[in-house]
Homo-oligomer: A and B are copies of this chain.
């Protein structure tokens, strides 16, 4: 699967390419990541820029830090940070100003001294923002500032943006390497074993789950409900449920379920309250979207549209137990921001270190339009176009999901 031949010469729109036409990229579209014998740039003349896009994710600062360290090891002197995502390229007042302190407190000229300890705090030292993919303006800015390498740390949308920048640079014959590092706390990037921040998120989610468990167990007919991240995928919910060992029901986007009826979730919760006295439920934010649409469709009273399955679930549970006249003490926890804003744990710190180092190796090798990941246990460069086609999903037939079901003891909700 990883050996599909792409022909750089004949298929320039097929994604990643090597600025150097002799590069072996033309033969394989996945390359083992790491340093190359020959480098494409003269380090002392390189101007490199780093930008972080989208929402927060544990490890952003680790990746920034490692890119700076590795650039310096190559000998690069001119490294700048772009503030607040792509917005920093074109928005007035956010332009890169070397050796100056913005009123936001950021010194945009980056060096080892500046980034030495940024990994000790969560968030993004450079600031993030969503959207703003005005490709043409961004490339104007890249050209004006004579940037040679652009490192984009971001999710699916930002990868698409990075690829558009890469292509626009090609079109304009600019020798700019655009190298991405996938940032998605949801772990939903195709071909990637794991994305940074995921492990930390699962770890930090334990805190919320344990609180829900304590609240539920300490209450008479307590129901703990925890909503975790995962718009289209249930990796965080599944792993967090499995590692906690305290979850009775785990609901994810990939596995459909009914709430009502004899075999629905609510009926199972009744059973748990009767037999066990309490229960704890974990839902991915993107679970049960079909149910949300239905409920909106049938809702004639003009209520606000529910955009959040966690809140919906909370209301459904409360209503159900009220309707059947059984006491249920529901406690809802949404730890999203507290999970996102964490610093990376040790395992993610290593992943970020390697991904950051490899991103720089890739740029110096002359690659552009690539992203740095771990793929089938090997660190690799992949063409951006390939990884953004579709998100990775939990396979409902996988052993991991079955282990999760064994751990929760939940039945099939149909």
Binds B, one of A151-159, A201-209, A282-290, A316-324: A201-209
Specify which chain B residues have a CB less than 8 angstroms from the CB of A377 in the assembled complex: 377
A199 at the interface (CB under 8 A from B): yes
A385 at the interface (CB under 8 A from B): no
A245 B119 Cβ-Cβ under 8 A: yes
B218 A103 Cβ-Cβ under 8 A: no
Of B123, B245, B357, the contact of A353 (CB 8 Å cutoff): B245
Near B by CB (< 8 A), chain A positions 339-392 give 340-342, 345-347, 349-350, 353-354, 357, 377, 379
Bound Cα distance from A116 to B399, whole angstroms: 23
Q: Interface code A394-410, partner B: CB below 8 Å = 1, 0 otherwise?
A: 00000100010011000
Binds B, one of A11-19, A124-132, A163-171: A124-132
A2 at the interface (CB under 8 A from B): no
- Given contact pairs A103-B275, A277-B103, A349-B243, A218 touches B403 in the complex (Cβ within 8 A): no
B403 A220 Cβ-Cβ under 8 A: no
**Which among A103, A104, A215, A242 has the highest number of chain B CB atoms within 10 Å?**
A215
- Given contact pairs A120-B121, A220-B129, A65 touches B346 in the complex (Cβ within 8 A): no
A230 at the interface (CB under 8 A from B): no
Q: Interface code A189-233, partner B: CB below 8 Å = 1, 0 otherwise?
A: 000000000010011011110111011011110000000000000
Specify which chain B residues have a CB less than 8 angstroms from the CB of A354 in the assembled complex: 403
A43 at the interface (CB under 8 A from B): no
Binds B, one of A136-144, A249-257, A329-337: A329-337
B341 A211 Cβ-Cβ under 8 A: yes
A240 at the interface (CB under 8 A from B): yes
B218 A337 Cβ-Cβ under 8 A: no
Q: Interface code A77-90, partner B: CB below 8 Å = 1, 0 otherwise?
A: 00000001101000
**Distance to closest chain B CB from A338 (angstroms):** 5
Of B127, B203, B239, the contact of A220 (CB 8 Å cutoff): B127
Bound Cα distance from A87 to B406, whole angstroms: 33
A325 at the interface (CB under 8 A from B): no
B116 A105 Cβ-Cβ under 8 A: yes
Near B by CB (< 8 A), chain A positions 66-97 give 66, 70, 73, 84-85, 87, 94
**Distance to closest chain B CB from A297 (angstroms):** 21
A264 at the interface (CB under 8 A from B): no
**Distance to closest chain B CB from A2 (angstroms):** 15
Specify which chain B residues have a CB less than 8 angstroms from the CB of A239 in the assembled complex: 346, 350
A38 at the interface (CB under 8 A from B): no
Bound Cα distance from A337 to B119, whole angstroms: 22
Q: Which B residue's beta carbon lies closest to that of A239?
A: B350
Bound Cα distance from A341 to B214, whole angstroms: 6
A293 at the interface (CB under 8 A from B): no
Specify which chain B residues have a CB less than 8 angstroms from the CB of A208 in the assembled complex: 338
A56 at the interface (CB under 8 A from B): yes
B331 A203 Cβ-Cβ under 8 A: no
**Distance to closest chain B CB from A96 (angstroms):** 15
A243 B357 Cβ-Cβ under 8 A: no
Specify which chain B residues have a CB less than 8 angstroms from the CB of A215 in the assembled complex: 56, 123, 337, 340-341
**Chain A positions near chain B (C-beta within 8 angstroms):** 34, 56, 62, 65-66, 70, 73, 84-85, 87, 94, 101, 103-105, 113, 116-117, 119-124, 127-129, 199, 202-203, 205-208, 210-212, 214-215, 217-220, 239-240, 242-245, 275-278, 329, 331, 333-335, 337-338, 340-342, 345-347, 349-350, 353-354, 357, 377, 379, 399, 403, 406-407
List 7 additional A-B contacts (Cβ < 8 Å) besides A101-B113, A127-B218, A244-B346: A34-B399, A73-B406, A212-B337, A239-B346, A244-B349, A354-B403, A379-B399
8 tightest Cβ-Cβ pairs between the two chains A and B: A123-B218, A123-B214, A243-B346, A211-B341, A214-B341, A243-B349, A84-B220, A203-B346
